Structure 1
C-alpha cells in the first residue's frame, strides 16, 4: 500500500482502448505519476508529467489523466489534482479564468473590442476588395440563386397583362439606355409579390424585379413606376446590392469567428432570397440611388421627382409602419423627399 504522501486522488482507471473501468488511486513520486488498482498489485499505468496529458479543469467536470500508453485515470477530486499541479508549477488556465472573474471580464471586453474593430474597419475594407475582384460570373450565380429561391418560396407568375408589361418594359429601356451599363446591362422581371406586397429590388448582376402590387399602387402613373426602377438602377450602378451581400457574409464570418461554425451561413446569404429581402441599404446608398433616379428621369424627359412622389404614396397608403417590405428596406422620410426635390431643382437648372 502506498504511503499517504504519494497519494493524489481516488478515481477509476480505464485500460488502453477499453471502456472497462476499475476503482484505483492516482499516486506520484516526484514528477512521475502512476496508478494502482484498489485491488492491489503493481502499478497499471506509469508516466512522467511531461509525457502525461492532464485535462484542464472546467467547473466540476471530472479530471482526466491520459498516459502515453493510452490508459486513462478519471477523478472527481479536482482540488487534489490542482494542488499537485501547483506544487510542480502548473495551473489549469480555464479554471483560473473561471475562478478569477476580473480576467474573464477583461477577456470578454477584449473579444468585444476586437469584434468591433473588425466590423468597423476590416469588414468594410474586405467588402471593397471583394467588390473589385468579383467577376461577372459570380454576380450572375448570386442573382440566379436568389431569384430561384424567391420564385420557389415567395413569388408567383405575374398577373399583369402582357401589353402592360411591354409598355413598362419599353419605358424602362428608355431610361436604362441612359445609364452607364446601358439597356443590355439590365433584365427586368415582373412577379406577383404575394406576401411581400409592393416591392422592387435589384440583384448584383443587373436583374431587376418589380411586383404587380407596386405597379397597382402607382395607379397608372408611369413616371412613378419608372422612377422606382431608375432608383434600383442606381443601386446596381453603385454596386450597393453586392456590397450589402458581402457585408452580410462578412458579419456571418465574424459570428463564426466568435461563436464557432454556424454552417453554410455565407452561402445562404449570398444565394438565399429571404436573406436578400431582409437587407436594407445604408442611408448614403439610398441617397445615391435617389440622385441617380432623379438624373436618369430628367435625361429621359420624365418627372425627376417621381421617386419622391412614390415614397409619399407608399406611406400614404400603408402608413409609416406599414407591412411593405419595400418601405422597410427603402425608408422614405420627409427629409429624404426634400433632398430628392432639391436635387431635381439642381438638375433642372442645369447642375449635376
Structure 2
C-alpha cells in the first residue's frame, strides 16, 4: 500500500477542511483517512472527477456526494491521477510527449501552408464573386477620399491630357482587354510625387509628377499604365482586401486568447504577410505589362527605362527592405524587365 500525505479534504456542504492521508489500495481503490485513522471514504480513482493539471497548482479530485480532495502537485501524484479514466481528453493529450513533439512541428507547418497558399487561393475565388456594384462604390469612395486629402486637380493642359487619352484608347483597342473599361485620370500630388495607381473599377490615376519625370515620353507612360492595368485585370485590389481580412480573422481565431503579447504579434504578422502578398501581386502586374509591350509598337525596354527613372528618385535599397516593404526591390524589378527583352 502506498500513502500520500499533505492532502486536504473539504466535506460537501461545509467550508472547513481536514488534513488527510490517502492510502492507495489495489484495483484502483483508495481510502481517505483523517489524523485519527478514521476512514472518511473509500472509492475508486475511476469513480471520481479529476480536474485538469494547471502548472504547480494543487490537484483537485471531486468525490460525488462526498466532497473535494486537494493534493499538492508532484510527479507521483500526477502519475497516480493519470490512471483515472475520467481525466479529460485534453489533459491526457497535454501529457502525451510524442504528440506534443509532433504538434510542435505539424502545427507551424500547417499554419504556414494555410497563410502561404490557402488564403491567397481563397482570395482569388473571392475576387471573382464580388458584385460589380460593390467594386464601383468602393472605387468611387476611395478616389473621393484621396481627392480630399493627397490629390489635387491636374495642371497638365487639356490638350496634353486629350493627346494621352486618344493614344491610350488606341492601346486599349489593340490589346483587346477584358472588362472593366479603363478610365484614365490625371491628378497632381506633392505628397505622392511621381506615381500611378489603379482602383478596382478600372480607374487609373497618373500624377503630373510622373508625367514630368518620364519627360512626356508616351512609350514610358504606356509601360507604367500597362502595369496598373495588370493590377485591375488580375483583380489585385479585391484579392488584397480578401487576403488582409482573412489573415486578420485567422490570426484572431488561432491566437486571440493569448492576450496582449499575441495581439502585438498578430499585428506584426499581418503586416509581414500583407507585404508578401503585395510583392507577389506587383510581380504579376510587372509581368503582365512586359507581356503586353510585345504586342504593341512600343520600344521593348520601355518598362525597364520607366522603372529606372523611378528608381533614381528613391533612396538606396537594401535586402532588409525586401522583408518589410510592400513592393519588391526596384532593382530586382528592373533586372526582371531587362531579362524579358
Same fold (TM over 0.5): yes
Q: State the alpha-carbon separation in 2 of the partners of residues 216 and 230 from structure 1.
A: 18
Q: State the alpha-carbon separation in 2 of the partners of residues 87 and 183 from structure 1.
A: 67
- Asked if the contact 2:154–2:207 (Cα under 8 Å) also holds between the matched residues in 1, the reply is no
Q: State the alpha-carbon separation in 2 of the partners of residues 149 and 26 from structure 1.
A: 74
Match of 2:73 in 1: 77
Match of 1:335 in 2: 335
1:1-352 to 2 correspondence within 5 Å? 10-11=7-8, 13=10, 52-65=48-61, 75-79=71-75, 81-88=77-84, 92-93=91-92, 96-97=95-96, 100=97, 103-119=99-115, 122-140=118-136, 143=139, 155-158=149-152, 160-161=154-155, 163=157, 166-167=161-162, 170=165, 174=169, 175-176=171-172, 179-181=176-178, 184-186=181-183, 188=185, 190=187, 192=189, 194=191, 197-252=193-248, 255-256=251-252, 258-260=254-256, 279-282=278-281, 285-291=284-290, 293-294=292-293, 298=296, 305-321=301-317, 328-329=327-328, 331-333=330-332, 334-340=334-340, 342=341
How far is the alpha carbon of 1:285 from its aligned partner?
Answer: 0.8
Match of 1:346 in 2: none
1:270-329 CA-to-partner distances (Å, cap 9, x unmatched) read 9x9xx6898223575144322355257x3xx66564332210112233255299x99934
Q: State the alpha-carbon separation in 1 of the partners of residues 76 and 215 from structure 2.
A: 80
1:240-266 CA-to-partner distances (Å, cap 9, x unmatched) read 443444444454455456434788x99
Q: State the alpha-carbon separation in 2 of the partners of residues 94 and 149 from structure 1.
A: 53
- Asked if the contact 2:180–2:202 (Cα under 8 Å) also holds between the matched residues in 1, the reply is no
How far is the alpha carbon of 1:336 from its aligned partner?
Answer: 2.2
Instruction: Check 1:83–1:146 CA distance in 2 against 1; reply closer, same or farther (3 A cut).
Output: farther
Instruction: Check 1:184–1:125 CA distance in 2 against 1; reply closer, same or farther (3 A cut).
Output: closer
- Asked if the contact 1:227–1:304 (Cα under 8 Å) also holds between the matched residues in 2, the reply is no
Q: Is there any run of 5+ residues in structure 1 with no aligned partner, and where?
A: 343-352
Q: State the alpha-carbon separation in 2 of the partners of residues 139 and 276 from structure 1.
A: 23
Q: State the alpha-carbon separation in 2 of the partners of residues 117 and 51 from structure 1.
A: 44
- Asked if the contact 2:301–2:338 (Cα under 8 Å) also holds between the matched residues in 1, the reply is no
1:76-135 CA-to-partner distances (Å, cap 9, x unmatched) read 4344542432454677436524xx4x6533221111332344356544543443333333
| Bigger RCO (CA 8 Å, 6+ sep) | 1
Q: State the alpha-carbon separation in 2 of the partners of residues 156 and 308 from structure 1.
A: 28
1:149-189 CA-to-partner distances (Å, cap 9, x unmatched) read 8778xx52326326469458735752456552467444647
Instruction: Check 1:104–1:327 CA distance in 2 against 1; reply closer, same or farther (3 A cut).
Output: closer
TM-score, scaled relative to structure 1? 0.63
Instruction: Check 1:53–1:176 CA distance in 2 against 1; reply closer, same or farther (3 A cut).
Output: farther
3-state SS of paired residue (1:201): strand
3-state SS of paired residue (2:80): helix
How far is the alpha carbon of 1:237 from its aligned partner?
Answer: 1.4
Q: State the alpha-carbon separation in 2 of the partners of residues 276 and 147 from structure 1.
A: 23
Instruction: Check 1:125–1:162 CA distance in 2 against 1; reply closer, same or farther (3 A cut).
Output: closer
3-state SS of paired residue (2:279): coil
> What count of residue pairs does the alignment treat as equivalent?
319
Q: Is there any run of 5+ residues in structure 2 with no aligned partner, and where?
A: none
